[in-house]
Amino acid sequence: MSPPASGGATLAEILNILEGYDLRCFGYLSADHVHVWAEAAKRAYADRNAYLGDPDFVSQPTATMISDSYATRRRAEIRLEGATRSAQVQPGLGPVPANQSTTRREGDHTTHYSIIDAAGNAVSVTTTINSLYGNLVTLAGAGFLLNNEMDDFATEPGAPNQFGLVQGEPNAIQPGKRMLSSMTPVIVLGGKGKIELVSGTPGGATITTTMAQLLSNVVDFGMDVAGASSAPRVHHQHLPDVLLFEPSALREDVQTQLRSRGYTLRERREYSGDTQSIQVMSDGTLAGVADPRHGGAAVAAEAPMRSTP
């Protein structure tokens, strides 16, 4: 998804950086795997936070962010021996041009669904009112909650929002401007535009890394979508400079190795994400996989899709 969602550009940057490593050779959730993963996410989120915002208001370097040459440059900054402190990870494309800045200083609940219909049309929809119950206000007679999406703006550039994201001037509040979102609905197309996978998730700032990890699990580790969805999740978003992992996701020895490389680790008390995915199997049947973290389970494959012209 393109700006004002940051998901597409950030996802592509993470995966392009990771493309330079033989992740499967590192071993799944080994220290080397988690390390390059976190370093890639840190850099992509540094760029996200610095450059992205509503394209009606700011031009932004998404084409560069998703290019192979830029990924090569960002990858070259990564040392296998140790973590780069987030304070040392700068946005990779220099300061935001002055005319992009605004001078103003102002001060959980999201849903994803994936659909493939009998004719082979796919939609991937993430919809959000931001926090639980939005801003806690319903419209009398209308029957729905109002959102508290204003927190997705950098309400005070440099200060963290509810997800701890420290975002920049391009995402500062302005009249008529849309806030930067982490939403990352995904449709993967194979050869000749054939749909391979539809997926997405809620989860605030972890949305993009959840999708990046799911795709990397499938592409780099050969997992099917059920395995890729249930695999433990790891998250880094540049600031705070903390590598988050789901309960019991990382072995003690991997944690020790990562700490010795300079990481601050935090084990989450709760699981992150709630992916809803459809994988098109090689025989054309559809496998629906709801994230087991929230009581979902893989469903039986549906009838084969009709072939499309």
Instruction: State the Cα torsion 270-271-272-277 to the nearest 10°.
Output: -150
Q: 55: cis peptide before it, omega within 30°?
A: no
Site string for ligand DON, 228-267 (x = CB under 6 A): ----------------------------------------
Say whether 210 is catalytic: no
Task: Tell which one of 40, 58, 183, 258 touches ligand DON (CB under 6 A).
Answer: 183
CA 39, 45, 51, 55 dihedral sign is positive
User: Which position among 10, 110, 184, 208 bears the catalytic label?
Assistant: 110
Among left, alpha and beta (phi > 0; psi -120 to 50; other), residue 134 is: left
Cα separation of 81 and 146, whole Å? Answer: 48
Task: Tell which one of 60, 114, 124, 130 touches ligand DON (CB under 6 A).
Answer: 130
Per DSSP (E only), the strands in the chain are 110-116, 122-128, 186-189, 195-199, 234-235, 243-245, 265-267, 276-280, 286-290
Task: Tell which one of 108, 156, 196, 224 touches ligand DON (CB under 6 A).
Answer: 108
Task: Tell which one of 128, 167, 275, 277 touches ligand DON (CB under 6 A).
Answer: 128
| Contact region with ligand DON (CB under 6 A), list: 46-54, 62-70, 177-185, 211-219 | 177-185
Which strands form 276-280's sheet, in the order they lie side by side? 186-189, 195-199, 276-280, 286-290
Nearer to ligand DON, 52 or 287 (CB): 52
Task: Tell which one of 61, 91, 157, 203 touches ligand DON (CB under 6 A).
Answer: 203
Compute the least distance from the CB of residue 81 to ligand DON, in Å: 34
Task: Tell which one of 61, 91, 200, 202 touches ligand DON (CB under 6 A).
Answer: 202
Cα separation of 79 and 136, whole Å? Answer: 46
Compute the least distance from the CB of residue 135 to ligand DON, in Å: 12
Nearer to ligand DON, 235 or 261 (CB): 235
Report DSSP letters for 215-252, one per residue. Answer: HHHHHTT---HHHHHHS--EE--SSS--EEE-TT-S-H
| Contact region with ligand DON (CB under 6 A), list: 50-58, 82-90, 203-211, 286-294 | 203-211
Q: Can you give the binding site for ligand DON, defined by CB under 6 A?
A: 108-110, 128, 130, 149, 152, 181-183, 202-204, 207
**What positions carry a catalytic annotation?**
110
